[in-house]
Structure 1
Protein backbone atom coordinates (compact mmCIF):
# COMPACT_ATOMS: atom_id res chain seq x y z
CA UNK A 1 0.00 0.00 0.00
CA UNK A 2 1.38 3.42 -0.99
CA UNK A 3 1.45 6.62 1.05
CA UNK A 4 -1.76 7.90 -0.59
CA UNK A 5 -3.66 4.76 0.41
CA UNK A 6 -2.08 4.92 3.86
CA UNK A 7 -3.30 8.47 4.30
CA UNK A 8 -6.83 7.51 3.30
CA UNK A 9 -6.78 4.52 5.64
CA UNK A 10 -5.57 6.65 8.53
CA UNK A 11 -8.49 9.07 8.32
CA UNK A 12 -10.78 6.23 9.30
CA UNK A 13 -8.38 4.37 11.55
CA UNK A 14 -9.64 2.89 14.77
CA UNK A 15 -6.41 4.03 16.34
CA UNK A 16 -7.89 7.50 16.47
CA UNK A 17 -11.15 6.55 18.16
CA UNK A 18 -11.71 8.29 21.45
CA UNK A 19 -8.80 10.63 20.85
CA UNK A 20 -6.44 8.51 22.95
CA UNK A 21 -3.78 8.37 20.28
CA UNK A 22 -3.68 12.12 19.82
CA UNK A 23 -2.41 13.73 16.63
CA UNK A 24 0.59 11.50 15.97
CA UNK A 25 -0.85 8.97 13.50
CA UNK A 26 -2.43 11.56 11.17
CA UNK A 27 0.67 13.73 11.51
CA UNK A 28 2.94 10.90 10.40
CA UNK A 29 0.60 9.86 7.59
CA UNK A 30 0.31 13.39 6.24
CA UNK A 31 4.04 14.01 6.53
CA UNK A 32 4.85 10.81 4.64
CA UNK A 33 2.41 11.69 1.87
CA UNK A 34 3.73 15.23 1.50
CA UNK A 35 7.27 13.92 1.28
CA UNK A 36 6.29 11.40 -1.40
CA UNK A 37 4.53 14.10 -3.41
CA UNK A 38 7.49 16.46 -3.16
CA UNK A 39 9.98 13.80 -4.22
CA UNK A 40 7.78 12.71 -7.13
CA UNK A 41 7.94 16.28 -8.41
CA UNK A 42 11.67 16.58 -7.80
CA UNK A 43 11.20 19.63 -5.58
CA UNK A 44 13.79 20.37 -2.91
CA UNK A 45 12.89 21.13 0.69
CA UNK A 46 14.21 24.68 0.39
CA UNK A 47 11.91 25.40 -2.57
CA UNK A 48 8.94 23.88 -0.74
CA UNK A 49 9.76 25.91 2.34
CA UNK A 50 9.91 29.12 0.30
CA UNK A 51 6.32 28.62 -0.85
CA UNK A 52 5.01 28.49 2.73
CA UNK A 53 7.50 31.05 4.06
CA UNK A 54 9.38 28.45 6.09
CA UNK A 55 12.85 26.92 6.29
CA UNK A 56 13.88 23.62 4.77
CA UNK A 57 14.31 22.26 8.30
CA UNK A 58 10.64 22.95 9.02
CA UNK A 59 9.68 21.03 5.88
CA UNK A 60 11.87 18.17 7.14
CA UNK A 61 10.15 18.21 10.55
CA UNK A 62 6.72 18.31 8.95
CA UNK A 63 7.51 15.35 6.72
CA UNK A 64 8.83 13.40 9.71
CA UNK A 65 5.65 14.07 11.71
CA UNK A 66 7.42 16.25 14.27
CA UNK A 67 5.65 19.51 13.49
CA UNK A 68 2.06 20.67 13.30
CA UNK A 69 0.35 21.69 10.05
CA UNK A 70 -1.42 24.89 9.07
CA UNK A 71 -4.24 24.25 6.62
CA UNK A 72 -3.02 27.10 4.42
CA UNK A 73 0.49 25.62 4.31
CA UNK A 74 -0.80 22.19 3.35
CA UNK A 75 -3.06 23.65 0.67
CA UNK A 76 -0.16 25.66 -0.78
CA UNK A 77 2.13 22.62 -0.78
CA UNK A 78 -0.51 20.48 -2.48
CA UNK A 79 -0.83 23.11 -5.19
CA UNK A 80 2.96 23.23 -5.58
CA UNK A 81 3.06 19.44 -5.86
CA UNK A 82 0.38 19.41 -8.55
CA UNK A 83 -2.37 17.76 -6.50
CA UNK A 84 -5.57 18.82 -8.24
CA UNK A 85 -7.82 15.87 -7.39
CA UNK A 86 -10.46 17.29 -5.05
CA UNK A 87 -10.92 14.01 -3.16
CA UNK A 88 -7.22 13.66 -2.38
CA UNK A 89 -6.93 17.30 -1.36
CA UNK A 90 -9.92 16.88 0.96
CA UNK A 91 -8.41 13.73 2.48
CA UNK A 92 -5.06 15.37 3.17
CA UNK A 93 -6.59 18.58 4.51
CA UNK A 94 -8.73 16.46 6.85
CA UNK A 95 -5.54 14.79 8.05
CA UNK A 96 -4.06 18.23 8.69
CA UNK A 97 -7.01 19.08 10.93
CA UNK A 98 -6.63 15.79 12.83
CA UNK A 99 -2.89 16.36 13.14
CA UNK A 100 -3.60 19.55 15.08
CA UNK A 101 -6.05 17.97 17.51
CA UNK A 102 -4.88 18.63 21.09
CA UNK A 103 -3.52 15.48 22.72
CA UNK A 104 -4.63 14.41 26.19
CA UNK A 105 -1.21 15.22 27.62
CA UNK A 106 -1.63 18.88 26.68
CA UNK A 107 -2.88 19.41 30.23
CA UNK A 108 0.64 18.40 31.31
CA UNK A 109 2.32 20.90 29.00
CA UNK A 110 4.18 22.44 31.93
CA UNK A 111 6.17 19.21 32.35
CA UNK A 112 6.24 17.96 28.74
CA UNK A 113 9.10 19.46 26.72
CA UNK A 114 8.65 19.79 22.97
CA UNK A 115 11.12 16.99 22.22
CA UNK A 116 9.01 14.52 24.21
CA UNK A 117 5.74 15.17 22.40
CA UNK A 118 6.57 13.08 19.35
CA UNK A 119 7.38 10.14 21.59
CA UNK A 120 4.21 10.50 23.68
CA UNK A 121 2.11 10.60 20.53
CA UNK A 122 3.76 7.50 19.10
CA UNK A 123 3.56 5.69 22.44
CA UNK A 124 -0.18 6.28 22.78
CA UNK A 125 -0.84 5.17 19.19
CA UNK A 126 1.59 2.23 19.07
CA UNK A 127 0.46 -1.34 18.61
CA UNK A 128 3.93 -2.60 19.62
CA UNK A 129 6.67 -1.06 21.75
CA UNK A 130 10.14 -2.59 21.92
CA UNK A 131 12.36 -1.12 24.63
CA UNK A 132 15.82 -1.56 26.09
CA UNK A 133 16.71 0.15 29.36
CA UNK A 134 20.07 0.23 31.10
CA UNK A 135 19.91 2.44 34.18
CA UNK A 136 16.27 2.18 35.21
CA UNK A 137 13.08 0.19 34.81
CA UNK A 138 11.07 1.40 31.77
CA UNK A 139 8.62 4.17 32.60
CA UNK A 140 5.64 2.08 31.47
CA UNK A 141 6.53 -0.53 34.10
CA UNK A 142 7.36 1.74 37.03
CA UNK A 143 5.46 2.02 40.29
CA UNK A 144 4.49 5.50 41.43
CA UNK A 145 7.08 5.51 44.22
CA UNK A 146 9.85 4.33 41.90
CA UNK A 147 8.79 6.93 39.32
CA UNK A 148 8.88 9.65 41.97
CA UNK A 149 12.41 8.71 42.97
CA UNK A 150 13.51 8.56 39.32
CA UNK A 151 11.99 11.98 38.62
CA UNK A 152 13.83 13.50 41.58
CA UNK A 153 17.11 12.12 40.27
CA UNK A 154 16.61 13.81 36.90
CA UNK A 155 15.03 17.00 38.30
CA UNK A 156 16.71 17.52 41.69
CA UNK A 157 15.49 21.12 41.98
CA UNK A 158 11.85 20.37 41.21
CA UNK A 159 9.29 21.16 43.89
CA UNK A 160 6.76 18.69 45.21
CA UNK A 161 3.99 19.91 42.90
CA UNK A 162 6.15 19.51 39.80
CA UNK A 163 7.32 16.06 40.85
CA UNK A 164 3.71 15.01 41.46
CA UNK A 165 2.75 16.26 37.98
CA UNK A 166 5.54 14.31 36.33
CA UNK A 167 4.62 11.14 38.21
CA UNK A 168 0.93 11.56 37.35
CA UNK A 169 1.84 11.86 33.66
CA UNK A 170 3.93 8.70 33.83
CA UNK A 171 1.12 6.77 35.50
CA UNK A 172 -1.38 8.05 32.91
CA UNK A 173 0.86 6.82 30.11
CA UNK A 174 0.57 3.29 31.50
CA UNK A 175 -3.11 3.13 30.55
CA UNK A 176 -2.06 1.79 27.15
CA UNK A 177 -1.19 -1.51 28.85
CA UNK A 178 -4.68 -1.88 30.25
CA UNK A 179 -6.92 -0.65 27.44
CA UNK A 180 -8.60 -2.84 24.83
CA UNK A 181 -6.85 -3.69 22.67
CA UNK A 182 -3.78 -3.24 24.82
CA UNK A 183 -0.44 -2.16 23.41
CA UNK A 184 2.08 -4.99 23.15
CA UNK A 185 5.20 -4.18 25.19
CA UNK A 186 8.43 -6.14 24.84
CA UNK A 187 11.12 -4.81 27.14
CA UNK A 188 14.70 -5.89 27.70
CA UNK A 189 16.06 -4.62 31.02
CA UNK A 190 19.71 -4.64 31.99
CA UNK A 191 20.19 -6.55 35.24
CA UNK A 192 22.03 -3.51 36.61
CA UNK A 193 18.75 -1.58 36.59
CA UNK A 194 17.19 -4.22 38.84
CA UNK A 195 20.04 -4.12 41.33
CA UNK A 196 20.25 -0.34 41.56
CA UNK A 197 17.92 0.56 44.49
CA UNK A 198 16.30 3.69 43.08
CA UNK A 199 14.33 5.28 45.92
CA UNK A 200 15.77 2.94 48.54
CA UNK A 201 15.35 -0.72 49.42
CA UNK A 202 11.61 -0.63 50.17
CA UNK A 203 10.74 1.18 46.94
CA UNK A 204 12.96 -1.15 44.93
CA UNK A 205 11.46 -4.27 46.46
CA UNK A 206 7.96 -3.01 45.65
CA UNK A 207 9.11 -2.30 42.11
CA UNK A 208 10.46 -5.82 41.70
CA UNK A 209 7.17 -7.27 42.96
CA UNK A 210 5.31 -5.08 40.47
CA UNK A 211 7.46 -6.40 37.62
CA UNK A 212 6.71 -9.96 38.69
CA UNK A 213 2.99 -9.22 38.56
CA UNK A 214 2.95 -7.30 35.30
CA UNK A 215 4.94 -10.02 33.52
CA UNK A 216 1.83 -12.16 33.84
CA UNK A 217 -0.04 -9.95 31.40
CA UNK A 218 -0.23 -11.75 28.04
CA UNK A 219 0.76 -8.65 26.07
CA UNK A 220 3.80 -7.79 28.21
CA UNK A 221 7.13 -9.55 27.65
CA UNK A 222 10.13 -8.77 29.85
CA UNK A 223 13.62 -10.14 29.38
CA UNK A 224 16.63 -9.57 31.62
CA UNK A 225 20.06 -8.93 30.14
CA UNK A 226 22.40 -10.52 32.72
CA UNK A 227 25.53 -8.75 33.90
CA UNK A 228 27.52 -11.79 32.78
CA UNK A 229 26.84 -10.93 29.13
CA UNK A 230 29.34 -8.08 29.27
CA UNK A 231 29.42 -6.22 25.95
CA UNK A 232 26.09 -6.26 24.13
CA UNK A 233 24.32 -5.06 20.99
CA UNK A 234 23.05 -1.73 22.37
CA UNK A 235 26.00 -0.33 24.26
CA UNK A 236 25.18 3.19 23.07
CA UNK A 237 22.33 3.39 25.57
CA UNK A 238 18.55 3.01 25.91
CA UNK A 239 16.50 2.46 22.77
CA UNK A 240 12.76 2.41 22.14
CA UNK A 241 11.14 1.39 18.85
CA UNK A 242 7.43 2.00 18.35
CA UNK A 243 5.34 0.32 15.66
CA UNK A 244 2.17 2.10 14.67
CA UNK A 245 -1.05 0.31 13.66
CA UNK A 246 -1.98 -0.41 10.07
CA UNK A 247 1.44 -1.36 8.74
CA UNK A 248 1.81 1.65 6.43
CA UNK A 249 3.59 4.16 8.66
CA UNK A 250 7.31 4.03 9.48
CA UNK A 251 8.45 2.77 12.85
CA UNK A 252 9.52 5.46 15.32
CA UNK A 253 12.96 5.12 16.92
CA UNK A 254 13.42 7.10 20.13
CA UNK A 255 16.80 7.70 21.74
CA UNK A 256 16.35 9.53 25.02
CA UNK A 257 19.13 11.78 26.27
CA UNK A 258 19.56 13.91 29.38
CA UNK A 259 18.23 17.14 27.88
CA UNK A 260 16.64 15.99 24.64
CA UNK A 261 16.04 13.08 22.32
CA UNK A 262 16.96 11.83 18.87
CA UNK A 263 14.54 10.32 16.36
CA UNK A 264 16.57 8.58 13.62
CA UNK A 265 14.16 8.27 10.70
CA UNK A 266 16.15 7.09 7.70
CA UNK A 267 15.15 3.52 6.72
CA UNK A 268 18.75 2.30 7.10
CA UNK A 269 18.95 3.80 10.60
CA UNK A 270 15.66 2.26 11.67
CA UNK A 271 16.82 -1.12 10.36
CA UNK A 272 20.06 -0.78 12.33
CA UNK A 273 18.18 -0.28 15.59
CA UNK A 274 15.85 -3.16 14.84
CA UNK A 275 18.90 -5.34 14.29
CA UNK A 276 20.37 -4.26 17.63
CA UNK A 277 17.07 -4.88 19.42
CA UNK A 278 16.70 -8.34 17.91
CA UNK A 279 20.25 -9.25 18.90
CA UNK A 280 19.53 -8.10 22.46
CA UNK A 281 16.61 -10.53 22.60
CA UNK A 282 19.02 -13.36 21.80
CA UNK A 283 21.63 -12.16 24.30
CA UNK A 284 19.10 -11.73 27.12
CA UNK A 285 17.63 -14.51 29.23
CA UNK A 286 14.45 -16.16 27.98
CA UNK A 287 11.16 -14.50 29.03
CA UNK A 288 10.31 -17.75 30.80
CA UNK A 289 13.26 -17.13 33.13
CA UNK A 290 12.23 -13.59 34.02
CA UNK A 291 10.03 -14.41 37.07
CA UNK A 292 12.77 -16.62 38.51
CA UNK A 293 15.39 -13.91 38.02
CA UNK A 294 13.14 -11.24 39.53
CA UNK A 295 12.41 -13.42 42.58
CA UNK A 296 16.14 -14.02 43.05
CA UNK A 297 16.98 -10.32 42.82
CA UNK A 298 14.11 -9.56 45.22
CA UNK A 299 15.52 -11.99 47.78
CA UNK A 300 18.96 -10.43 47.41
CA UNK A 301 17.70 -6.84 47.72
Structure 2
Protein backbone atom coordinates (compact mmCIF):
# COMPACT_ATOMS: atom_id res chain seq x y z
CA UNK A 1 0.00 0.00 0.00
CA UNK A 2 2.85 2.41 0.78
CA UNK A 3 4.28 1.84 -2.70
CA UNK A 4 0.86 2.41 -4.25
CA UNK A 5 0.39 5.62 -2.31
CA UNK A 6 3.81 6.92 -3.31
CA UNK A 7 3.15 6.01 -6.94
CA UNK A 8 -0.24 7.73 -6.88
CA UNK A 9 1.25 10.90 -5.40
CA UNK A 10 3.95 10.94 -8.07
CA UNK A 11 1.45 10.42 -10.88
CA UNK A 12 -0.71 13.28 -9.60
CA UNK A 13 2.37 15.51 -9.45
CA UNK A 14 3.38 14.59 -12.98
CA UNK A 15 -0.12 15.29 -14.26
CA UNK A 16 0.32 18.85 -13.02
CA UNK A 17 -2.47 21.21 -14.06
CA UNK A 18 -3.99 18.77 -16.53
CA UNK A 19 -7.45 17.64 -15.50
CA UNK A 20 -7.90 13.98 -14.64
CA UNK A 21 -10.81 13.72 -17.06
CA UNK A 22 -8.61 14.95 -19.91
CA UNK A 23 -5.80 12.47 -19.27
CA UNK A 24 -8.20 9.57 -18.69
CA UNK A 25 -10.10 10.39 -21.89
CA UNK A 26 -6.95 10.33 -24.00
CA UNK A 27 -6.17 6.88 -22.63
CA UNK A 28 -9.71 5.60 -23.14
CA UNK A 29 -10.21 5.25 -19.38
CA UNK A 30 -12.94 6.50 -17.10
CA UNK A 31 -11.95 9.36 -14.83
CA UNK A 32 -12.76 7.14 -11.84
CA UNK A 33 -10.16 4.58 -12.98
CA UNK A 34 -7.42 7.20 -13.00
CA UNK A 35 -8.64 8.54 -9.66
CA UNK A 36 -8.49 5.06 -8.08
CA UNK A 37 -4.89 4.67 -9.24
CA UNK A 38 -3.85 8.12 -8.02
CA UNK A 39 -5.46 7.59 -4.61
CA UNK A 40 -3.95 4.08 -4.24
CA UNK A 41 -7.36 2.43 -4.13
CA UNK A 42 -6.19 0.06 -6.84
CA UNK A 43 -2.92 -0.99 -8.43
CA UNK A 44 -1.99 -0.46 -12.06
CA UNK A 45 -1.07 -3.04 -14.65
CA UNK A 46 2.27 -2.83 -16.46
CA UNK A 47 0.59 -2.03 -19.80
CA UNK A 48 -1.58 0.71 -18.29
CA UNK A 49 1.43 2.21 -16.53
CA UNK A 50 3.44 2.36 -19.75
CA UNK A 51 0.59 4.11 -21.56
CA UNK A 52 0.18 6.60 -18.73
CA UNK A 53 3.92 7.33 -18.56
CA UNK A 54 3.98 8.05 -22.30
CA UNK A 55 0.95 10.31 -22.05
CA UNK A 56 2.50 12.24 -19.15
CA UNK A 57 5.85 12.51 -20.94
CA UNK A 58 7.82 11.01 -18.07
CA UNK A 59 11.59 10.80 -18.82
CA UNK A 60 13.25 7.35 -18.83
CA UNK A 61 15.14 7.85 -15.57
CA UNK A 62 12.01 8.70 -13.63
CA UNK A 63 9.98 6.02 -15.41
CA UNK A 64 12.23 3.28 -14.03
CA UNK A 65 11.53 4.35 -10.46
CA UNK A 66 7.77 4.48 -11.09
CA UNK A 67 7.85 1.01 -12.64
CA UNK A 68 9.57 -0.27 -9.51
CA UNK A 69 6.91 1.33 -7.29
CA UNK A 70 4.13 -0.16 -9.41
CA UNK A 71 5.72 -3.60 -9.18
CA UNK A 72 5.91 -3.38 -5.40
CA UNK A 73 2.30 -2.26 -5.32
CA UNK A 74 1.26 -5.46 -7.09
CA UNK A 75 3.05 -7.75 -4.63
CA UNK A 76 0.96 -10.26 -2.70
CA UNK A 77 0.14 -9.09 0.82
CA UNK A 78 -0.24 -11.21 3.96
CA UNK A 79 -4.02 -10.74 4.10
CA UNK A 80 -4.56 -11.88 0.49
CA UNK A 81 -6.18 -15.22 1.58
CA UNK A 82 -8.92 -13.24 3.35
CA UNK A 83 -9.68 -10.78 0.53
CA UNK A 84 -12.61 -12.70 -0.88
CA UNK A 85 -14.51 -12.22 2.38
CA UNK A 86 -14.16 -8.44 2.74
CA UNK A 87 -14.98 -5.35 0.71
CA UNK A 88 -12.28 -3.40 -1.13
CA UNK A 89 -12.55 -0.54 1.35
CA UNK A 90 -11.71 -2.88 4.22
CA UNK A 91 -8.75 -4.15 2.24
CA UNK A 92 -7.47 -0.56 2.07
CA UNK A 93 -8.02 -0.15 5.80
CA UNK A 94 -5.94 -3.25 6.61
CA UNK A 95 -3.15 -2.05 4.33
CA UNK A 96 -3.00 1.35 6.05
CA UNK A 97 -3.09 -0.23 9.49
CA UNK A 98 -0.25 -2.60 8.57
CA UNK A 99 2.02 0.30 7.54
CA UNK A 100 1.12 2.92 10.14
CA UNK A 101 3.72 4.23 12.57
CA UNK A 102 0.99 5.64 14.80
CA UNK A 103 -2.71 4.85 15.21
CA UNK A 104 -5.18 7.09 17.03
CA UNK A 105 -8.67 5.61 17.34
CA UNK A 106 -11.98 6.85 18.72
CA UNK A 107 -14.67 4.24 19.21
CA UNK A 108 -18.10 4.96 20.66
CA UNK A 109 -19.84 1.58 20.44
CA UNK A 110 -17.47 -1.40 20.69
CA UNK A 111 -13.91 -2.26 21.62
CA UNK A 112 -11.56 -1.54 18.66
CA UNK A 113 -10.62 -4.53 16.52
CA UNK A 114 -6.93 -4.47 17.48
CA UNK A 115 -7.90 -5.11 21.11
CA UNK A 116 -10.79 -7.56 20.66
CA UNK A 117 -10.88 -11.19 21.77
CA UNK A 118 -11.84 -13.71 19.09
CA UNK A 119 -15.25 -14.43 20.64
CA UNK A 120 -16.06 -10.73 21.00
CA UNK A 121 -14.94 -10.11 17.39
CA UNK A 122 -17.11 -13.01 16.21
CA UNK A 123 -20.14 -11.47 17.95
CA UNK A 124 -19.48 -8.03 16.43
CA UNK A 125 -18.97 -9.34 12.89
CA UNK A 126 -21.96 -11.68 13.13
CA UNK A 127 -24.44 -8.80 13.26
CA UNK A 128 -23.12 -7.27 10.03
CA UNK A 129 -25.88 -6.83 7.46
CA UNK A 130 -23.80 -8.49 4.72
CA UNK A 131 -22.73 -11.56 6.71
CA UNK A 132 -24.95 -14.56 5.98
CA UNK A 133 -22.37 -17.22 5.12
CA UNK A 134 -20.76 -18.96 8.17
CA UNK A 135 -17.49 -19.36 6.23
CA UNK A 136 -17.34 -15.63 5.55
CA UNK A 137 -17.96 -14.99 9.24
CA UNK A 138 -15.10 -17.29 10.21
CA UNK A 139 -12.69 -15.75 7.68
CA UNK A 140 -13.50 -12.23 8.78
CA UNK A 141 -13.00 -13.16 12.41
CA UNK A 142 -9.69 -14.83 11.55
CA UNK A 143 -8.57 -11.72 9.64
CA UNK A 144 -9.40 -9.49 12.59
CA UNK A 145 -7.32 -11.67 14.87
CA UNK A 146 -4.47 -11.76 12.36
CA UNK A 147 -4.50 -7.96 12.15
CA UNK A 148 -3.47 -7.80 15.79
CA UNK A 149 0.01 -9.02 14.88
CA UNK A 150 0.74 -5.42 13.87
CA UNK A 151 1.10 -4.67 17.60
CA UNK A 152 3.94 -7.17 17.97
CA UNK A 153 5.90 -6.31 14.85
CA UNK A 154 9.26 -4.52 15.10
CA UNK A 155 8.94 -1.66 15.52
CA UNK A 156 5.27 -1.70 16.59
CA UNK A 157 3.06 1.32 15.93
CA UNK A 158 2.06 3.51 18.83
CA UNK A 159 -1.63 2.97 19.58
CA UNK A 160 -3.78 5.55 21.35
CA UNK A 161 -7.42 4.59 21.87
CA UNK A 162 -10.20 6.70 23.34
CA UNK A 163 -13.17 4.47 24.10
CA UNK A 164 -16.62 5.62 25.15
CA UNK A 165 -17.68 4.30 28.55
CA UNK A 166 -20.77 2.73 27.01
CA UNK A 167 -18.58 0.14 25.27
CA UNK A 168 -17.56 -1.20 28.69
CA UNK A 169 -21.18 -2.05 29.47
CA UNK A 170 -22.59 -3.19 26.12
CA UNK A 171 -22.82 -6.97 26.43
CA UNK A 172 -21.62 -7.92 22.97
CA UNK A 173 -21.76 -11.72 22.87
CA UNK A 174 -23.19 -11.87 26.38
CA UNK A 175 -22.03 -11.20 29.92
CA UNK A 176 -19.20 -13.75 30.02
CA UNK A 177 -17.80 -12.66 26.64
CA UNK A 178 -17.75 -9.04 27.76
CA UNK A 179 -16.03 -9.95 31.04
CA UNK A 180 -13.22 -11.70 29.18
CA UNK A 181 -13.03 -8.81 26.74
CA UNK A 182 -12.58 -6.34 29.58
CA UNK A 183 -9.78 -8.48 30.96
CA UNK A 184 -8.10 -8.30 27.55
CA UNK A 185 -8.51 -4.52 27.60
CA UNK A 186 -6.98 -4.32 31.06
CA UNK A 187 -4.00 -6.43 30.00
CA UNK A 188 -3.51 -4.41 26.80
CA UNK A 189 -3.53 -1.15 28.75
CA UNK A 190 -0.36 -2.26 30.53
CA UNK A 191 1.60 -2.98 27.35
CA UNK A 192 4.25 -0.48 26.21
CA UNK A 193 3.15 1.63 23.27
CA UNK A 194 -0.58 1.31 24.00
CA UNK A 195 -2.46 4.21 25.56
CA UNK A 196 -6.06 3.43 26.51
CA UNK A 197 -8.41 6.10 27.83
CA UNK A 198 -12.14 5.91 28.53
CA UNK A 199 -14.40 8.86 27.85
CA UNK A 200 -16.78 8.82 30.84
CA UNK A 201 -20.50 9.50 30.62
CA UNK A 202 -19.86 12.62 32.68
CA UNK A 203 -17.85 14.16 29.82
CA UNK A 204 -21.11 15.08 28.12
CA UNK A 205 -21.20 16.34 24.52
CA UNK A 206 -17.97 16.27 22.52
CA UNK A 207 -16.57 16.90 19.04
CA UNK A 208 -17.14 13.40 17.65
CA UNK A 209 -20.72 12.60 18.57
CA UNK A 210 -22.21 10.05 16.19
CA UNK A 211 -18.97 8.97 14.49
CA UNK A 212 -16.07 6.58 14.98
CA UNK A 213 -12.73 7.09 13.25
CA UNK A 214 -9.07 6.11 13.05
CA UNK A 215 -6.14 8.40 12.22
CA UNK A 216 -3.18 6.63 10.64
CA UNK A 217 0.19 8.38 10.88
CA UNK A 218 3.15 7.27 8.79
CA UNK A 219 6.93 7.56 8.82
CA UNK A 220 9.14 9.12 6.15
CA UNK A 221 6.99 12.17 5.65
CA UNK A 222 3.99 10.33 4.23
CA UNK A 223 0.71 12.16 4.68
CA UNK A 224 -1.70 10.88 7.36
CA UNK A 225 -4.98 9.21 6.44
CA UNK A 226 -8.29 9.15 8.32
CA UNK A 227 -10.76 6.29 8.15
CA UNK A 228 -14.25 7.30 9.29
CA UNK A 229 -16.73 4.54 9.99
CA UNK A 230 -20.32 4.20 8.82
CA UNK A 231 -22.84 1.43 8.09
CA UNK A 232 -21.44 0.99 4.57
CA UNK A 233 -17.91 0.30 5.77
CA UNK A 234 -16.49 3.79 6.06
CA UNK A 235 -14.40 6.04 3.88
CA UNK A 236 -10.84 7.33 3.67
CA UNK A 237 -10.04 11.01 3.99
CA UNK A 238 -6.69 12.40 2.88
CA UNK A 239 -7.18 16.15 2.38
CA UNK A 240 -5.12 18.18 4.83
CA UNK A 241 -8.16 20.18 5.94
CA UNK A 242 -10.17 17.00 6.62
CA UNK A 243 -7.35 15.35 8.54
CA UNK A 244 -6.95 18.50 10.65
CA UNK A 245 -10.63 18.35 11.67
CA UNK A 246 -10.25 14.76 12.90
CA UNK A 247 -6.98 15.49 14.67
CA UNK A 248 -8.64 18.34 16.54
CA UNK A 249 -11.60 16.11 17.41
CA UNK A 250 -9.31 13.40 18.74
CA UNK A 251 -7.38 15.94 20.82
CA UNK A 252 -10.70 17.10 22.30
CA UNK A 253 -11.72 13.52 23.12
CA UNK A 254 -8.36 12.70 24.69
CA UNK A 255 -8.44 15.83 26.84
CA UNK A 256 -11.91 14.94 28.17
CA UNK A 257 -11.11 11.26 28.78
CA UNK A 258 -9.95 9.69 32.03
CA UNK A 259 -6.25 9.30 32.71
CA UNK A 260 -4.59 6.02 31.79
CA UNK A 261 -4.54 4.96 35.45
CA UNK A 262 -8.17 5.89 36.09
CA UNK A 263 -9.17 4.12 32.89
CA UNK A 264 -7.46 0.94 34.02
CA UNK A 265 -9.24 1.07 37.36
CA UNK A 266 -12.63 1.61 35.67
CA UNK A 267 -12.09 -1.30 33.29
CA UNK A 268 -11.12 -3.60 36.17
CA UNK A 269 -14.05 -2.49 38.31
CA UNK A 270 -16.55 -2.93 35.47
CA UNK A 271 -15.18 -6.39 34.68
CA UNK A 272 -15.41 -7.43 38.35
CA UNK A 273 -19.06 -6.40 38.34
CA UNK A 274 -19.76 -9.00 35.64
CA UNK A 275 -18.60 -11.95 37.71
Task: Quickly name the TM-score band, shorter chain normalised.
Answer: over 0.9
Distance in 2 separating the partners of 1:265 and 1:56: 19
> TM-score normalized by structure 1?
0.87
Distance in 2 separating the partners of 1:166 and 1:83: 41
Distance in 2 separating the partners of 1:119 and 1:82: 33
Q: Which runs of 5 or more residues in structure 2 are unaligned?
A: none
Distance in 1 separating the partners of 2:229 and 2:160: 18
Of 127, 132, 145, which aligns to 1:171?
145
SS at match of 2:237: coil
Task: Note if contact 2:103-2:160 (Cα within 8 Å) is conserved in structure 1.
Answer: yes
Kindly indicate whether residue 254 of structure 2 is the aligned counterpart of residue 281 of structure 1. yes
Q: What RMSD in Å do the two structures reach over aligned CA positions?
A: 1.5
2:99 matched residue in structure 1:
125
> TM-score normalized by structure 2?
0.95
Residues 234-245 of structure 1 aligned to structure 2 (within 5 Å): 234-245=208-219
Distance in 2 separating the partners of 1:101 and 1:162: 24
Kindly indicate whether residue 121 of structure 2 is the aligned counterpart of residue 147 of structure 1. yes
Distance in 1 separating the partners of 2:167 and 2:85: 25
Kindly indicate whether residue 163 of structure 2 is the aligned counterpart of residue 186 of structure 1. no
Task: Note if contact 1:51-1:76 (Cα within 8 Å) is conserved in structure 2.
Answer: no
Higher deviation after alignment, 121-130 or 249-258: 249-258
Kindly indicate whether residue 56 of structure 2 is the aligned counterpart of residue 75 of structure 1. no
SS at match of 2:29: coil
Kindly indicate whether residue 135 of structure 2 is the aligned counterpart of residue 161 of structure 1. yes
| Length, aligned pairs only | 274
Distance in 2 separating the partners of 1:76 and 1:175: 39
Q: CA deviation at 1:97?
A: 0.9
Post-superposition Cα deviations, 1:142-176, rounded to whole Å, max 9, x if no partner, equal: 00111111111225863433322111110000000
Of 24, 37, 59, which aligns to 1:49?
24
SS at match of 1:154: coil
Distance in 2 separating the partners of 1:227 and 1:53: 55
Kindly indicate whether residue 246 of structure 2 is the aligned counterpart of residue 269 of structure 1. no
Change (3 A) 1:157 1:167: closer
